[in-house]
């Protein structure tokens, strides 16, 4: 049976209704290269994947909202009201859709009836593949569809980021929501986070596949050092601005950075800024290499990215470093690096399709030996961004 048929039946039984829900889907994302550059006004190169979040809904005749997640069954149905969408600790995961609705309404979109909504996500929890941005965007698309709001995709993306920044309190950049909102099958997106100009690049990996490796180390962005990294970069930028007329670290070339780095007083902040500047240059170079079909150089840039995140940005840790180091040692590997915010979560590797089984086995053996538990391996499929699931899907 199709997953959507199955989910529709669950919807009808949870909400005790015979109505047929509309079904929407938002993917998760991986980032090929360009890490911790988005909030520094640099470039990122993410792609949306086939794992994601389904949302099924039927409009109500009152202003009530009833949320149910198959991933958090123990929380039962969480009720809210369109008239009161303030953050409530007890609403748990439902704060993400509530935040999205609040900001859509504040932005002037007319939503004057509630809905019963069922969520189901198959992105591994806490894996750093943007399950929260996926919930934000699927909520956006769902209400856009139900109320024919004709929202521009970019506003949906920006409102999703606002939920993260202002409602949840994580000072993240725009990459995740952008990748999920704008994703395209078999393409990655080179996005300039300063101007929001972007281009799609076909991902042609010849006989290779992208493997996603989950460290299975749980992490929460809010509790992590994410906001601290952002603050360190902002401090470095303001010191550079004493002399340079720049708006972001993303405007500096590595050469300009080297000439001016003495302006940054603190050594740690200097390393954080160095990563942001060099990573941005690597990301632009990576697109060129990919377009030239030079996979080897693309892989080298991925490896350098990981080293910089490990040594200068310090967001990797034992789990990610063990996986990436083990990946580098395997036959048929073009490149490997952590992906997303870091501090646990996932790594990605580009691996010869014929060597995937031995790759997974060997990397896991090394990981288990060193870390004490298993990693999980997925083959990534790059798929479309958020959309309504119609008969043809």
Question: Which is closer to ligand GLA, CB of 227 or CB of 358?
Answer: 227
Q: Which of 176, 192, 352, 383 is catalytic?
A: 176
Active site residue 242: no
Least separation in angstroms between residue 337's CB and ligand GLA is 11
Residue 176 interacts with ligand GLA (CB under 6 A): yes or no: yes
Question: Which is closer to ligand GLA, CB of 176 or CB of 383?
Answer: 176
Residue 36 interacts with ligand GLA (CB under 6 A): yes or no: yes
Answer for which of 49, 78, 201, 341 binds ligand GLA (CB under 6 A) is: 341
Residue 173 interacts with ligand GLA (CB under 6 A): yes or no: yes
Q: Are 358 and 330 in contact (CB under 8 A)?
A: yes
Those residues with Cβ within 8 angstroms of residue 40's Cβ, 6 or more apart along the chain or in another chain: 193, 233, 237, 248, 249, 250, 276, 280
Distance CA 381, CA 298 (A): 19
How many residues lie near ligand GLA (CB under 6 A)?
10
- Choose one: 18-26, 93-101, 173-181, 358-366; the region binding ligand GLA (CB under 6 A): 173-181
Least separation in angstroms between residue 341's CB and ligand GLA is 3
Q: 298-317: which residues touch ligand GLA (CB under 6 A)?
A: none
Least separation in angstroms between residue 36's CB and ligand GLA is 5
Question: Which is closer to ligand GLA, CB of 27 or CB of 114?
Answer: 27
- Choose one: 74-82, 172-180, 199-207, 347-355; the region binding ligand GLA (CB under 6 A): 172-180
Q: Are 180 and 24 in contact (CB under 8 A)?
A: no
Least separation in angstroms between residue 205's CB and ligand GLA is 22
Least separation in angstroms between residue 118's CB and ligand GLA is 25
Distances (CA, A) of 206 to 48, 196, 334, 362: 19, 30, 11, 23
User: DSSP 3-state assignment of 383?
Assistant: coil
Distances (CA, A) of 115 to 60, 61, 142, 302: 5, 8, 10, 44
Q: How many CA atoms lie within 13 A of 241 on its CB side?
A: 11
Answer for which of 8, 22, 35, 277 binds ligand GLA (CB under 6 A) is: 35
Query: In 22-130, which ranges are continuous DSSP H helix?
Result: 95-106
Distance CA 238, CA 243 (A): 9
Question: Which is closer to ligand GLA, CB of 12 or CB of 165?
Answer: 165
Least separation in angstroms between residue 154's CB and ligand GLA is 16
Those residues with Cβ within 8 angstroms of residue 30's Cβ, 6 or more apart along the chain or in another chain: 46, 47, 49, 129, 210, 212, 339, 340, 346, 348, 380
Token representation of residue 339: 């992906």
User: DSSP 3-state assignment of 147?
Assistant: coil
Which parts of this chain interact with ligand GLA (CB under 6 A)? 35-36, 38-39, 172-173, 175-176, 340-341
| Catalytic positions | 176
């Amino acid at each position: 049976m199709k997953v959507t048929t199955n989910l529709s039946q669950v919807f009808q039984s949870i909400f005790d209704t015979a109505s047929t829900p509309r079904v929407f889907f938002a993917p998760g994302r991986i980032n090929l290269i360009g890490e911790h550059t988005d909030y520094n006004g640099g470039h990122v190169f993410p792609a949306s994947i086939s794992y994601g979040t389904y949302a099924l809904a039927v409009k109500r005749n009152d202003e009530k909202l009833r949320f149910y997640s198959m991933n958090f069954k123990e929380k039962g149905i969480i009720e809210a009201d369109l008239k009161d969408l303030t953050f409530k600790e007890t609403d748990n995961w439902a704060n993400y859709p509530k935040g999205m609705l609040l900001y859509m309404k504040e932005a002037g979109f007319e939503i004057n009836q509630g809905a019963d909504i069922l969520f189901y996500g198959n992105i591994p929890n806490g894996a750093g593949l943007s399950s929260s941005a996926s919930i934000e965007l699927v909520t956006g698309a769902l209400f856009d569809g139900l109320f024919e709001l004709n929202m521009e995709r970019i506003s949906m993306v920006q409102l999703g980021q606002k939920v993260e920044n202002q409602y949840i309190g994580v000072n993240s950049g725009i990459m995740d929501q952008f990748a999920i909102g704008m994703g395209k099958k078999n393409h990655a997106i080179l996005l300039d986070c300063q101007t929001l100009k972007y281009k799609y690049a076909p991902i042609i990996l010849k006989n290779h596949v992208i493997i996603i490796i989950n460290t299975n180390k749980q992490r929460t962005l809010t509790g992590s050092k994410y906001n601290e990294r952002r603050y360190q970069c902002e401090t470095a930028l303001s010191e550079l601005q004493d002399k340079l007329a720049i708006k972001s670290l993303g405007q500096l070339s590595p050469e300009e950075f080297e000439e001016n780095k003495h302006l940054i007083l603190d050594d740690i902040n200097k390393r954080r800024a160095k990563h942001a500047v060099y990573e941005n240059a690597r990301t632009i170079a990576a697109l060129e290499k990919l377009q030239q079909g030079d996979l080897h150089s693309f892989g080298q840039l991925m490896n350098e990215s990981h080293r910089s995140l490990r040594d200068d940005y310090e967001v990797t840790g034992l789990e990610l470093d063990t996986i990436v180091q083990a990946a580098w040692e395997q036959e048929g590997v073009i490149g490997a690096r952590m992906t997303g915010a870091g501090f646990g979560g996932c790594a990605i590797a580009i691996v010869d399709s014929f060597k995937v089984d031995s790759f997974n086995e060997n990397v896991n053996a090394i990981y288990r030996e060193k870390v004490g538990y298993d990693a999980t391996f997925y083959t990534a499929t790059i798929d479309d961004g958020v959309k309504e699931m119609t008969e043809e899907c």
